[in-house]
Every structure is written in structure tokens, then in C-alpha cells.
Amino acid sequence: MGLRFIFMLTRNDMTVEDAEQHLKTALAAGVHHIGFKDVGLPFERLKELNAAIQAGGATSYLEVVSLDRESEVASARAAVEIGVDILLGGTNVDAVLPVLAGSGIQYFPFPGRIEGHPSVLTGNIDEVVESAVKLAARDGVHGLDLLAYRSTENVTGLMAAVCAAVDKPVIMAGSIGSRARIEIVRRSGAAGFTIGTAALDGDYPADSPELETQLQSIQRDVAGVNNHLSPHAPNNLDQAFASFTETWSPRVAGQVNNMMIKLAKFEGEFVWHHHETEDEMFLVHKGRLLIKFRDRDEVINAGEFIIVPHGVEHCPVALDGTCEVMLLEPATTVNTGNADDPRRVTELSRV
């Protein structure tokens, strides 16, 4: 499973006034993890916001801000009543666990000592790790919410140390505003991270400060960091074939492991040949292809393909003018095989 991006509808540790509107944008952008805080909006609106997150197919997160025992218990009760999927933050685990019991809510409290508002993580790395290990060992604690970027310690070292010390998922919170930071978070072994203000304020590196563009940029970066993204754009065969006219001169359109994808235009008859070790696949894109074999002929129409195993003699012939063919064959394959023919091509250009 890849690194999880949790979009927080929050600024300065408060749920933003226009959370509902931003939620619509986030859901439309395909964001699957969306959180808010228990301050900033009236309870009923938080409840509706949560219902809208879940109705949109996303997982909901409520992050506790208040750190005194009484308000934290009140927040946990609110989380149960709101029906969030995951409760993030808080430090009064003994008080919160009984409230959450039986609710099905996953609980990710803060390791370490948290002070102030906006919250700051105090203590050195060893102290935070010790706290993380103790918390993660508890039943009812499903993971941790580490305020890594709210620490004055070496943040990279802190994240890696906490992730290495516990076997439950760790979410990194605070000030993650670039692909470089997302990569650092990924390398630390984290399960996820939150971004709120950076996206809402249009500070994430993207083509525009609009929230939609911001979220798309974050998601593309996360997909890249997760290795969930192909570096290749889609290819259009009509356009690729239109880019050259030369016949019997295959162009390289791509490579799949050691197999080349080649595009070729055939016209008239080629030459009898075989390939010692290479199998060839001929997929006809346009026109009709006749392949003569020693004992019979095969006609391949547009949308059809044929495989010619190595060692089998064949002679391709384009019927009805030019025939557009996609070839799939090992990179070492030469078009004329064992035959001596002036149409032999060894240096292939790319489409």
C-alpha cells in the first residue's frame, strides 16, 4: 500500500469556514482521505461535513486539537457521535480509549509531549520514540499521529526513528508542502501525511493556486513517490502512423522489457526470410496483410494479429496499397531476418 495523502480542511488548527465547498473540490479531484478538526465549525456542520465525506466514498478523519483531558474526552465523544472513521491526535489515551470502545473508530494519538496552540511537539527523539512505543503497544490504538514538522528536533531523523520503533502505521502531520518533503516522509516509513493550509492557501508547487490544481499536483506527486504512476503518456496509433511515410522501415514506438514495439508501413511484397531466434507478432492497424508461409497463406485484417515463431519462413505482402502494422518482437530482430535484401534496416528511428 502506498503513502496516504490526507487532505485537512483546516487552517491554523481550525476547520475552515468554507469547508463544504472545499470538500466538493477535493472529492471531485479524487482525494480519498479527508480530515477536519473539532474546532472552527458548529457541531452540526461537522456532522454534515463528515457525512458528506463518507457519502463521497472517502475516509474521514477528525484531529483533536484540545489537549486537556476534559476537552479531549469531549472530542472523542464528538468523534463517536459524528461517526468519523479515524480519530487523529490527542494525548490522553487512558481517558479516550473507553469512549471509543465498540465504536469501530480507529485511533491514532500523538506520541510525545504536545504543547501550545498551534501545537508543538517537545522533547528529544529518544523521548518521542519511547512514548510512541508505549502508545503503539496499546490495544485500541491503531496507529500514531506524529507532529513531526512541529518538532524542533531533526525532523527526518525523528520520523525514521518513530517508524522503525513501532509496527503500527504512523501519519505525519504539519508543514508538508513539497514533493521533496513527501519523498522524505515516504522514505521514513510513514503510512501517510496531512496537508491542509499549504493546499488551501495555494502554496503547494503547482500550475495555479486554485485548490483543484493544488490537490491534483499533490496527488500526482504522491502517485509518483508511491511508484503508482507511469512516466509514459498514452500513444495514439493514427497519429504515430501519420508521422512517417517510408515503407519497409520500422519505427520504434516503445519497449516492453526486451520486446520492441515497432510501427511499420508495408507496400507490395517483402522478401522471404526467417528469424533464427526471434518470434514476431504482426498486428494490423489499417489495411490488409497477407503473410505467405511455405505451405499456405494467411490474410490478417485490421484489428487482427498473427504470431510468427522463430525459424518459420514467411513473406509479408501488403494487400490493397499501404498496410499499417504494429510489430512486437525482441529488440535484436532485424526486419529481413536471414535474407540478404536492400530493405534491411538495422538502425531504427523512433516515432
Q: Which helix (H) or strand (E) holds 43?
A: helix 43-55
Shortest Cβ 26–Ni ion spacing (Å):
53
Shortest Cβ 271–Ni ion spacing (Å):
9
Q: Is 168 helix (H, G, I), strand (E, B) or coil?
A: coil
Shortest Cβ 240–Ni ion spacing (Å):
21
Nearer to Ni ion (CB atom), residue 35 or residue 337: 337
Cα separation, 109 vs 113, whole angstroms: 11
Q: Which residue type does 122 have? A: T
Cell matching residue 34:
479527508
Q: Quick one: CA torsion of 333, 339, 343, 348, rounded to 10 degrees?
A: 10
Cell matching residue 301:
485484417
Nearer to Ni ion (CB atom), residue 250 or residue 337: 337
Nearer to Ni ion (CB atom), residue 44 or residue 276: 276
Question: What does the DSSP 8-state code read for residue 349?
Answer: P
8 Å CB contact between 219 and 204: no
Nearer to Ni ion (CB atom), residue 66 or residue 336: 336
Nearer to Ni ion (CB atom), residue 58 or residue 327: 327
Shortest Cβ 337–Ni ion spacing (Å):
5
Number of Cβ within a 10 Å radius of residue 321: 11
8 Å CB contact between 206 and 177: no
Shortest Cβ 350–Ni ion spacing (Å):
20
Nearer to Ni ion (CB atom), residue 133 or residue 281: 281
Cα separation, 171 vs 110, whole angstroms: 10
Shortest Cβ 316–Ni ion spacing (Å):
7
Q: Are strands 10-11 and 14-15 parallel, antiparallel or unpaired?
A: antiparallel
Shortest Cβ 343–Ni ion spacing (Å):
11
Q: Per-residue DSSP letters for 104-157?
A: --EEEPPPSEEETTTTEEES-HHHHHHHHHHHHTSTT---EEE-GGGBSS-HHH
Judged by the rule CB under 5 A, the positions of this chain that interact with Ni ion are 337
Nearer to Ni ion (CB atom), residue 174 or residue 337: 337
Nearer to Ni ion (CB atom), residue 125 or residue 291: 291
Q: Which residue type does 41 have? A: L
Q: Is 166 helix (H, G, I), strand (E, B) or coil?
A: coil
8 Å CB contact between 139 and 168: no
Shortest Cβ 255–Ni ion spacing (Å):
18
